Chains A and B, each alone.
Chain A
Amino acid sequence: MTAILFIEQVLNGLQFGVMLFLMAAGLTLVFGVMGLINLAHGSLYMVGAFAAAAVAGATGSFLLALVAALAAAAAAGALVELVVIRRLYDRDHLDQVLATFALILIFSEGTRWVFGSFPLFLDIPDYLSGPVTLPGGIEYPLYRLTIILTGLVIAAGLFWLISRTRLGVRIRAGESDREMIAALGVDISKLYTMVFALGAALAGLAGAMVGAIQSVQVGMGEPVLILAFVVIVIGGIGSIKGALIGAILVGLTDTLGGLLLPEVFKLFMDTSAASTTGSALASMLIYILMACVLIWKPQGLFGGQA
């Protein structure tokens, strides 16, 4: 294994991590601020990807497609919050899980009904396609670098939003004491709708950006949703910083585990057994990581009191 391969995989892990962060940020905000488990977050990711594919197909513009993904996911999020989620805040987690699981089914079948079950076409725009040569002679796809940068810029924007703006103050206040902030005259239900739509928009953006390098199809959100839950449990529920660190940890662990574990096992096993054992263990690695973090810090890395 060469250093170049290793660095490429680190970049892949980072790219995977920042996309997970976009998913996990909304999930952790909704969980932290409203105490709601939203299984339908993966559907909003799918809505973003389908909106992007539809707009890119109609206009040919990737930027417009991203804007459409943000808008469609935010609109779907706001609508879902107003119609369904709003009734769930005072219910226990089982009711929330059941209702949002129903939303997954409704979104999936609805999308199948509108777009059909064939995967849609969404491609990287010409100006972002192809590889670039990084210092050290590494060839790396430009689009993936763009994803990493976009994710980091959005992370910085979210930190600014949460720590420096009035909306952020309210979100943090709502997280620690929702009755008190309502008593102080903040329209808590409007705040909740905004937070939900914000989280949905980030998920939609992630769906659109990943959709261009993977496939845009019904059910694409659920595998990512599970990883996003792992991320917020590792990072600590409600913490944006935790979501970022957790997402990058999970992204790197998953990518590098798949690369390194078979190599490690090759040191004391024959090649085919090593690659089987290594890959089997690599797919468990993020859950092992989660278990270790929880043993060390039951609230997650940056979690406050539950």
Chain B
Amino acid sequence: MFFFLPGGMGISFLKQYADSGLDLPVVGPAFSFDQGILQAVGDAAMGVKNTSQWNKDIDNAANAAFVEAFQAEYGRLPSLYASQGYDTANLLLSAMEKADVSDPEAFRAALKEADFDSTRGDFAFDSNNHPVQDIYVREVIKEGEVYTNKIIGTALEDHSNVYVDDCKM
């Protein structure tokens, strides 16, 4: 059963699915299984597989620093949305070091280089400006009292997007 329902709708779906008596395995993208949602869904999400470009256990220095700093500041685990915000801020900072913000062309080129340490590991922009990154398979687990995700495999390596060759950019 594949579904994509972020936020409240995803919570409703998973709870009602667990109660319906069906036992087909559930898969979906990470947005339906982020750190905030999982606590509201509870046991109904255990063992569910989902795909994501990020998880807290990706092994690189930027990610380790991010996860640790986030927990120290907010007292909870970061969600993938937080990792995206962090990456975006670092991307902007890296471009600001190379080019002047008042020069749009140069700044755009500096952004496209994506010369920053992403929490996702290797990260680049493809010719149509979509990210080139690994997509992982995660499983919902329980660490102590907290529901979270664990990487159990890599689904796609250095994945860009299927339309990149058709794009005129």
Answer yes or no: do A and B interact: yes
Binding site for B on A (CB under 8 A): 118-124, 129-131, 139, 141, 143, 212-217, 220
- Within 8 Å CB of A139, what residues of B? 20-21
A-side binding surface: helix, strand, loop or mixed?
loop
Q: How far is the CA of A130 from the CA of B15 in the complex (A)?
A: 11
- Within 8 Å CB of A123, what residues of B? 15, 42-44
Q: How far is the CA of A216 from the CA of B18 in the complex (A)?
A: 17
Q: A119 is contacted by which of B19, B20, B36, B44 (Cβ under 8 Å)?
A: B36
Whether the pair A119, B8 counts as a contact (CB closer than 8 A) is yes
Task: Please provide the 10 A-B residue pairs with the shortest distance between their CB atoms, ordered closest to farther.
Answer: A131-B21, A215-B11, A215-B8, A119-B40, A214-B12, A141-B19, A118-B36, A139-B21, A121-B40, A123-B42
Q: Which of B14-41 contact A (CB under 8 A)?
A: 15-16, 18-21, 36-37, 39-41
Q: How far is the CA of A119 from the CA of B41 in the complex (A)?
A: 9
Whether the pair B37, A213 counts as a contact (CB closer than 8 A) is no
Contact A213-B15, Cβ < 8 Å, known A119-B8, A131-B20 = yes
Contact A129-B40, Cβ < 8 Å, known A214-B8, A220-B8 = no
B-side binding surface: helix, strand, loop or mixed?
helix
Whether the pair A119, B21 counts as a contact (CB closer than 8 A) is no
- Within 8 Å CB of B42, what residues of A? 121, 123
Distance in angstroms from B88 CB to nearest chain A CB is 20
- Within 8 Å CB of A212, what residues of B? 15
Report how many residues on chain B are interfacial, defined by Cβ distance under 8 Å. 19
- Within 8 Å CB of B41, what residues of A? 121
- Within 8 Å CB of B20, what residues of A? 131, 139, 141
- Within 8 Å CB of B44, what residues of A? 123
Interface membership of chain B positions 1-14, coded 1 if the CB is closer than 8 angstroms to chain A and 0 otherwise: 00000011101100
Interface membership of chain B positions 44-78, coded 1 if the CB is closer than 8 angstroms to chain A and 0 otherwise: 10000000000000000000000000000000000
Q: How far is the CA of A143 from the CA of B39 in the complex (A)?
A: 21
Q: How far is the CA of A214 from the CA of B39 in the complex (A)?
A: 13
Q: Which residue of B lies closest to A216 (CB)?
A: B40
Q: A130 is contacted by which of B8, B9, B19 (Cβ under 8 Å)?
A: B19
Binding site for A on B (CB under 8 A): 7-9, 11-12, 15-16, 18-21, 36-37, 39-44
Distance in angstroms from A197 CB to nearest chain B CB is 28
Q: Which residue of A lies closest to B36 (CB)?
A: A118
Q: How far is the CA of A212 from the CA of B15 in the complex (A)?
A: 8
Whether the pair A213, B40 counts as a contact (CB closer than 8 A) is no
Whether the pair B39, A118 counts as a contact (CB closer than 8 A) is yes
Contact A118-B19, Cβ < 8 Å, known A214-B8, A215-B12, A220-B8 = no
Q: How far is the CA of A143 from the CA of B12 in the complex (A)?
A: 14
Whether the pair B15, A124 counts as a contact (CB closer than 8 A) is yes
Contact A141-B16, Cβ < 8 Å, known A118-B39, A119-B40, A131-B21 = yes
- Within 8 Å CB of B19, what residues of A? 124, 129-131, 141, 143, 213
- Within 8 Å CB of B7, what residues of A? 119, 215, 217
Q: How far is the CA of A123 from the CA of B44 in the complex (A)?
A: 9
Q: How far is the CA of A217 from the CA of B10 in the complex (A)?
A: 13
Q: How far is the CA of A217 from the CA of B41 in the complex (A)?
A: 12
Q: How far is the CA of A33 from the CA of B79 in the complex (A)?
A: 48
Q: How far is the CA of A143 from the CA of B11 in the complex (A)?
A: 17
Q: How far is the CA of A214 from the CA of B19 in the complex (A)?
A: 12
Distance in angstroms from B17 CB to nearest chain A CB is 10
Q: How far is the CA of A141 from the CA of B18 in the complex (A)?
A: 10
Q: Which residue of B lies closest to A214 (CB)?
A: B12
Q: Which residue of B lies closest to A212 (CB)?
A: B15
Q: Which residue of A lies closest to B12 (CB)?
A: A214
Whether the pair B11, A119 counts as a contact (CB closer than 8 A) is yes
Whether the pair A214, B21 counts as a contact (CB closer than 8 A) is no
Contact A217-B8, Cβ < 8 Å, known A130-B21, A141-B20 = yes
